[in-house]
Chains A and B, each alone.
Chain A
Amino acid sequence: MIPSNTICVSQEGPANALALNKDCSQVVIAGRNVFKVFSIGETEFTEVCNLRVGKNLNLNFSSIDVAWSTIEENTLATAATNGAVVVWNLGRSGRSKQEHVFSDHKRTVNKVSFHLTEPALLISGSQDGMMKCFDLRMKEVARTFISNTESIRDVQFSPHQANQFAAVSENGSVQLWDVRRHERCLQHFTAHSGPVFACDWHPEAPWLATASRDKTIKIWDIHAKPNLEHTIYTIASVGHVKWRPQKKFQVASCALVLDCAVHVWDVRRPHVPLATFAEHRDVTTAIAWQASPLTFLSTSRDCSLYRHRFTEAAHPVLWANPHGVCVSARGELAHATPERPLPALHPHHHPPGDRLVPGLGRKQPTAGSLSAAAQAALERAFPGGASSALCRYHTRTSALVGCALKYKIRGAPPHELAAHNAAVARSYERHMVAHVWEVVRAVCAARADERRPPPRRPSPPPSADPPPPVQPYNNAVEEEPLEEAEEWAETSFHNSGVLGMPTLTIYIPPAKYAKQLRDDNEPMGWVSAASAHYVDIEAADWTLPEEAFPLRTAPPPPAPPHTPPAPRDEQTGTCYANVSGTSATSPHGAVSSPGGSSSSTASDKCYSQQCELNAAEEGEGGGLAVRGTGNEGGRACVDVSPLLAAALKQHADLGDVQTAATVMLALHSHRSDLFPYIDESLQEQWLLGYIELLQRHKLWNVANEVRGLIVLQVSLVAGVTCSRTSKR
């Protein structure tokens, strides 16, 4: 799409060069098959004259370059592929405007250039390595300059010293000559490692810009000894270069191959163009500023002539991502950010009434999206915006590594492993995880007891924990093997002090032991702290927001866990709450309000909601309920597998694959109970995920242990080893 203020005209053939007359109202374009003068209107180009007329359209018309005298209104010169330099007089009557042909060069002339103050002097640079100065009045060659280099690609008179000119050649060298002395050049230096295709004198400073096939533009201070001031790095061979008028540091360039766009660079920020004009569909062959920093013309191999307005520029720097963020496996965060961010720029056109987010306008890769003021601000800030700060922040080290190292996943019966792991989890303040382990322990212990009548009394639970200590579960099993199944759903709230919020705890059977202690108002017998609305496994150290209370206690029914946006919570509700709902037929009556803490009213309210939830869950989610098994008399073996499966899935969903994987591993043979609820591929995924996590932390031993266990546990052997071999 052509921006609205850009004008364009297409010709029958591509132009190799263009030149403006001295007041920049007309432009001449010249190429192999085209040679025309246009007048530049506000909205269009108007053809003034077609110079490619006459009887003998010979090679003299096949132009490589064109120049318009800076003094004489009507004088043009072209450089032809056959080595001719042709002078044209637009003032001539008749169709042919050809004034004179100099056929002194033997090979292609690459460049013609008028003296800036002397109207009769014209200089040419040729493929034959020579430059010739023509006297237009005498119609003869005044002087010949032999470069002793390869082909001359560009010659330019200096605006600072009237008789000096620069010549660049294909062997990478730059020469400065005095037009009056042809014996030897004033200066000679190697500027580039490849052919130099163009040069341009800075209008004010004693700078010369050179453009080369080595993909760079170099800025030389040739005040005394040539000194490299700046190097601009582009993505392709640079074909032309032109300083932007009135802007000391800005230079426009176009590429010879590959890149069709015209770029304007700020020499102080040499890697990113300040502005880009990407209208051309083929490589740009010539550019010329219209004596103002706001407009320039360009021709291209796509046969078009454009006048671009600077306000229509696209600014690549605005689409480049200035930020980098990365979080490492170690929990470190690296952030690269601009030290001097570009100003918030607003787009040119935005619909009125549209809420404008500050800085949003920056993301506008389209041309001409910036207002003039925004563009000026960008231009000012641009050169200084080239530095990034790279910051590193150490986020919390997760408990994952510690747990991974301390967890036991083999070498003991599952319930002992679980007890150990629960203690480990608690020591890292991962109470939810500890709770899961406790449940595992309870289940496995029950199983173990079935087989071994005299259960070994486990060691007392770790005492240092802030939440209520663990009641040795085996007591209960000994005393009331049936009841434990049914009653372990006693629920209530109390402040765990860890999460700073009411916590749903699960009450394990009123064993004698516990009953004795009941009088002390000491909530023994609580297996562990768990909260139905708990989510953040890892960050137990986070004090949860106060808003938690209103949300929970809000009187009107739909209980928060049921609201659609929180489907996973629903699952939690299922997995933990069901336990409470099943056996306790009248939970309210059984509330023991253990701590008698200040939050009891609120908690009670929560609790009643929780019960509603349970009821609801039971109604629909009967598949997960424990009820049936409990009533089926006789067997202590409660089928908690669905609950456990749900809990593990929940943990996996929360990003805690460690718990899911290690619990499965620790279950050993009991793991098969889970199969109906967790399909094999998911199990495998958890284990692989856990192994990857361990590898990231370079816990090779643990990873190998896990692998070894997987291999042992027959059901997965095939799947996992396959995937392992495929990884290798």
Chain B
Amino acid sequence: MGEQNITNLFEAQTIYADHKDLIHDVAYDFYGERMATCSSDQYVKIWDSDGRGGWRLTGSWKAHHGSVWKVTWAHPEFGQVIATCSFDRTAAVWEEVGDTNASGSDKGLRTWVKRSNLVDSRTSVTDVKFGPKHLGLLLVTCSADGIIRIYEAPDVMNLAQWTLQHEIPTKVSISCLSWNPSLSKINPPMLAVGSDEPNTTNAAASVQTDKSAACNGKVFIYEYSEGARRWTRTDCLASAQEPVNDIAFAPNLGRSFHLLAVATKDVRIIKVECVLESSNSANGGARFKTEVLCAFDAHNSCVWRVCWNVTGTLLASSGDDCQVRLWKMQYLNQWRCAAVFKNAPLGDSPPAARAHTAYVRLAAMANPAHMPKH
């Protein structure tokens, strides 16, 4: 299939990044001009594009007392704001202060101030995401003990004040969540969460969980009901049975359905269609019609990450094989692997030689026409 030699098309350039442990998350801002990384070394770093294809470190600070799992940008309307969550059981909201436009390139590092520390969780906070901006300034966190918390900043000018609006217990360990970014006024606010609760293999355990046997799925959909003023679980996707590591709604720019990517033992793309209220009874009362569009085990290992491009036409995934695969819809609604980026692991060379370093590799695809033919 020509996938193996695709890496030859990339020339790697390395830049010292200096995270002292694994990087757990990378996030681009709304425009794709800034990038945030977070690591187990408890640091968050901000990288700015210099407009010529290079990236420069403009912020670096110790953000937490434990591994920083996720970092996410707020919509730029709210300022230069990020949120982080950590093993230390807190989530934090950070804002860049000072003149963000002028002279930053010269004076080096900019200052990020912790505006708020959300300390409600009793266990590791596994994910944090800002809500779609048309809902206001919302922040949702989830924790290893399975509680989803939705915070709101009533005054968008005051990032220090966040009120805990909703606490949704799920009873299973939650590893990831995703807002449905749909701009539609018809759809109520919607969240998808993924659980990494391991499947108990022994029969005894499965007997005692028969209460939840209605759905063994690991992906749950929650919706906000305006009438009841609370979030309720409206669906559980039975098609995802293995522990889920990451989950992502595709940006919905007017699709009539939602696309949900799930990183579990494989890469899954699930189409979620709202069932009209009228036909609800015919459908056994289900709120959604879901369909697994594809499930790829091409990573041949646990898949850790999925991420959509801005139009929801391209999905990137990465797994334990340390490869990134790009998935694209081809004819007949078939999703196909469009490219494989491989970052050769260094192998078993003595760690001392390169201990505590990390590098940025820059690569540019020479010509899109060089993409692999299947």
Contact = CB atoms under 8 A, between A and B. Distances in A.
A660 B311 CA distance: 13
A148 interface: no
B143 interface: no
A211 to B, nearest CB: 15
Which of B87, B250, B308 has most A Cβ within 10 Å? B87
Contacts of B23: 324, 336, 388, 390
B285 interface: no
A652 B198 contact: no
Q: Is the interface of B mostly helix, strand, loop or mixed?
A: loop
A289 to B, nearest CB: 25
A495 B187 CA distance: 42
B89 interface: yes
A486 interface: no
A329 B297 contact: no
Contact of A544 (B88, B265, B330): B330
Given A393-B363, A536-B331, A689-B183, A327 B308 contact: yes
B358 A387 contact: yes
Given A215-B65, A362-B302, A362-B320, A321 B19 contact: no
Contacts of A692: 183, 253
B152 interface: no
A320 B184 CA distance: 35
Interface string B212-239: 0000000000000000000000000000
B183 A654 contact: no
Interface in A551-581: 551, 560-561, 565-569
B300 A358 contact: yes
B52 interface: no
B130 to A, nearest CB: 14
B21 A660 contact: no
Contact of A693 (B253, B265, B338, B348): B253
A364 interface: yes
Interface string A388-405: 111111111010100000
Interface stretch (B27-35, B159-167, B274-282): B27-35
A689 B256 CA distance: 13
Contact of B40 (A271, A337, A369, A544): A271
B323 to A, nearest CB: 8
A366 interface: yes
Given A321-B245, A329-B30, A335-B318, A357 B324 contact: no
B30 A383 contact: no
Interface in A313-367: 316, 319-341, 344, 349-351, 354, 357-360, 362-366
Contact of B331 (A316, A385, A535): A535
A388 B254 contact: no
B256 A340 contact: no
A324 B37 contact: yes
A697 B31 CA distance: 6
Contact of A350 (B77, B201, B322): B201
A726 interface: yes
B178 interface: no
B102 interface: no
A515 B212 CA distance: 70
A60 interface: no
A388 B39 contact: yes
A39 B48 CA distance: 62
B182 to A, nearest CB: 8
A685 B184 contact: yes
B306 interface: yes
A329 B346 CA distance: 31
Interface string B339-363: 1010101111011001111111111
B10 interface: yes
Contacts of B77: 727-728
A326 B28 contact: yes
Nearest to B357: A387
A656 B251 CA distance: 11
Contacts of A54: none
A272 interface: yes
A676 B68 CA distance: 51
Contacts of B350: 384
A604 to B, nearest CB: 20
Contact of B89 (A235, A383, A394, A727): A235
Nearest to B374: A545
B373 A543 contact: yes
A359 B65 contact: no
Given A235-B88, A321-B305, A392 B25 contact: no
A569 B332 contact: yes
B53 to A, nearest CB: 8
Contacts of B331: 531, 533-536, 544, 548
B333 to A, nearest CB: 5
B97 interface: no
Given A363-B243, A686-B254, A689-B183, A324 B368 contact: no
A499 to B, nearest CB: 9
B345 A339 contact: yes
Contacts of B374: 545-547
A349 B312 CA distance: 40
Interface in A650-704: 652-657, 660-661, 681-682, 684-686, 688-690, 692-693, 695-698
Contacts of B55: 392
Given A327-B308, A655-B312, A392 B361 contact: yes
Contacts of A323: 304-305, 318-319, 322
Nearest to A724: B134
Contacts of A547: 374
Nearest to A380: B348
A705 interface: no
A336 B28 contact: no
A685 to B, nearest CB: 5
A302 interface: no
Interface in A504-545: 531, 533-539, 541-545
A415 interface: no
B356 A386 contact: yes
A280 interface: no
Contacts of A360: 265, 301-302
16 contacts: A268-B351, A272-B22, A321-B305, A325-B307, A327-B316, A335-B343, A336-B37, A338-B322, A341-B320, A363-B302, A387-B354, A390-B17, A390-B360, A393-B364, A536-B330, A686-B253
Ranked nearest first, the 8 interchain pairs of A and B with the lowest CB-CB distance are A328-B32, A384-B351, A689-B253, A359-B301, A657-B253, A336-B23, A388-B23, A328-B28
Interface of B: 10, 12, 17, 19-28, 30-33, 35, 37, 39-42, 53, 55, 65-67, 69, 77, 87-89, 133-134, 173, 182-186, 196, 198, 201, 243, 245-246, 250, 252-257, 265, 291, 293, 297, 300-302, 304-314, 316-322, 324, 326, 328-333, 336, 338-339, 341, 343, 345-348, 350-351, 354-365, 368-369, 371, 373-374
